[in-house]
Structure 1
Amino acid sequence: MATAKKASSKTGGVRFAEESSEAAQSHVHFDEKLHDSVVMVIPESNGNFLVKVGFLKTQHRYEIVFTLPEMPELGKDVCPAPIPNPHLRITNITPSSDGGLRVTCEYMAHQEGVMCEEVQILSESKEDSSVKVKVHARVMDRHHGTPMLLEGVRCIGAELEYDSEQSDWQGFD
């Protein structure tokens, strides 16, 4: 009798939905305002773009793919600006089916915190025509879990962690 009482006290908080056509097809649904699962491209008032890529992890390298809308002022022939950014670089720009640009970047999450790195896309046919793209990421420490990556973001590698305690250097005498 004691075991039956013990088992029933553990199941008191679990409830199952009644079978209905809605329950039979049910999946977990999140409010869209609470969780967007894709990289967001936000036009800025100055004609540039802000790209929000969500949570990333330090010392990891990511491929980020997003589509910019059609920009007639740039023309069809575009290229990344030859301005070096040690943490973010454009690896590919191709026309998308809707007339915009599909941009592929590689980003090295080097530091914890809210990071904003900038790249520039130049027109090859129209002089002095360019667009700046700011990539905005929230970077967490590599020891604090694994972020759920947004659609368009893919981890392509991790940098080796250097631990000074593992060094065999004896120091100066």
Structure 2
Amino acid sequence: MATAKKVSSKTGGVRFVEEPASAAHSHVHFDEKLHDSVVMVIPESKSNFLVKVGFLKTQHRYEIVFTLPEVPELGKDVCPAPIPNPHLRITSVTVSSDGGLRVTCEYMAHQEGVMCEEVQILSESKEDVCVKVKVHARVMDRHHGTPMLLEGVRCIGAELEYDSEQSDWQGFD
């Protein structure tokens, strides 16, 4: 005995609105914030900053340059904290003309996803005074195109990709 299937359909539609001829050649306008193509430095607290560097590509090494606002407690004699981070390291810190700190980092995008690495800048003259900087990047797989880098981010190299199927090694006998 066959059972009849009940078919239900939802009605709906798409409506097109007549536009005046002058609107046919209009342009799309985006919010001005979308045009910002520079590294963003966001104060999280008095001595903590979030630095957004945009989209990067895995297995690529980047130089990231940004300026932190002046932190008077830190003073002018500063240095990177000697805390090892295998993926992010500060290569230079200098006092900028406006009193802030111009920071240059090297970052190795090692893993796909939203990455957040932290570094610290210490005062050389004042004990226990430091600035924490979190670098936030969206890292895409190396095979998914090339990101448009923000101003202040520069690719300085790519790591070789190891493919075990291309190896000539025969293994142990």
Q: TM-score range by the shorter chain?
A: 0.7 to 0.9
Aligned-pair CA distance for 1:98: 0.7
Q: Give the CA deviation at 1:10.
A: 35
Show the counterpart of 1:154: 154
Residue 39 of structure 1 deviates from its aligned partner by: 0.3
Counterpart residue number, 1:35: 35
Q: 2 CA distance for matches of 1:26 and 1:69?
A: 40
Shift of 1:48: 0.4
Distance 1:78 1:4, change over 3 A: farther
CA distance in 1, matches of 2:102, 2:22: 38
Query: Which is greater in Rg?
Result: 2
Residues 39, 153 of structure 1: 8 Å contact kept: yes
- Higher deviation after alignment, 37-46 or 129-138: 37-46
Structure 1 residue 32: deviation in Å?
Answer: 1.6
What is the rounded CA distance, in whole Å, between the counterparts of 1:22 and 1:70 in structure 2? 50
What is the count of residue pairs matched by the alignment? 173
Q: TM-score, normalised by structure 2?
A: 0.82
Identity of aligned residues (%): 92
Q: Distance in 2 between matches of 1:29 and 1:168?
A: 55
The superposition leaves residues 74-132 of structure 1 with CA deviations (integer Å, 9 ceiling, x where unpaired) of 00100000011000000011111110000000000000000000000000000000011
How has the CA–CA distance of structure 1 residues 21 and 31 changed in structure 2, closer, same or farther, with 3 Å as cutoff?
Answer: farther
Per-residue CA distance 1:32-88 (angstroms, 9 max, x = gap): 233420000000136200000000000000000000000110001000000110000
**2:66 touches 2:103 (CA, 8 Å); kept in 1?**
yes
CA separation of 1:125 and 1:155: change in aligned 2, threshold 3 A? same
Q: Does the 8 Å contact 1:63/1:154 carry over to 2?
A: yes
Deviation at 1:171, TM superposition (A): 1.4
SS across alignment from 1:131: strand
Structure 1 regions of 5+ residues with no counterpart? none
C-alpha distance in 2 between matches for 1:61 and 1:160: 11
Instruction: Please say if residues 52 and 137 of structure 1, whose CA atoms lie closer than 8 Å, have aligned partners that are also in contact.
Output: yes
Change (3 A) 1:92 1:20: farther
Alpha-carbon separation, structure 2, partners of 1:128 and 1:134: 19
Q: TM-score, normalised by structure 1?
A: 0.82
Q: Structure 2: any 5+ residue segments left out of the alignment?
A: none
Q: For residues 66 and 20 of structure 1, do their structure 2 counterparts lie closer, same or farther at Cα, with a shift above 3 Å needed? A: farther
1:83 alignment partner in structure 2: 83
Contact 2:47–2:130, Cα closer than 8 Å, also in 1: no
Which contiguous aligned blocks of 4+ residues in structure 1 show a shift greater than 6 angstroms? 1-29
Match of 1:20 in 2: 20
Superposition CA RMSD, Å: 7.9
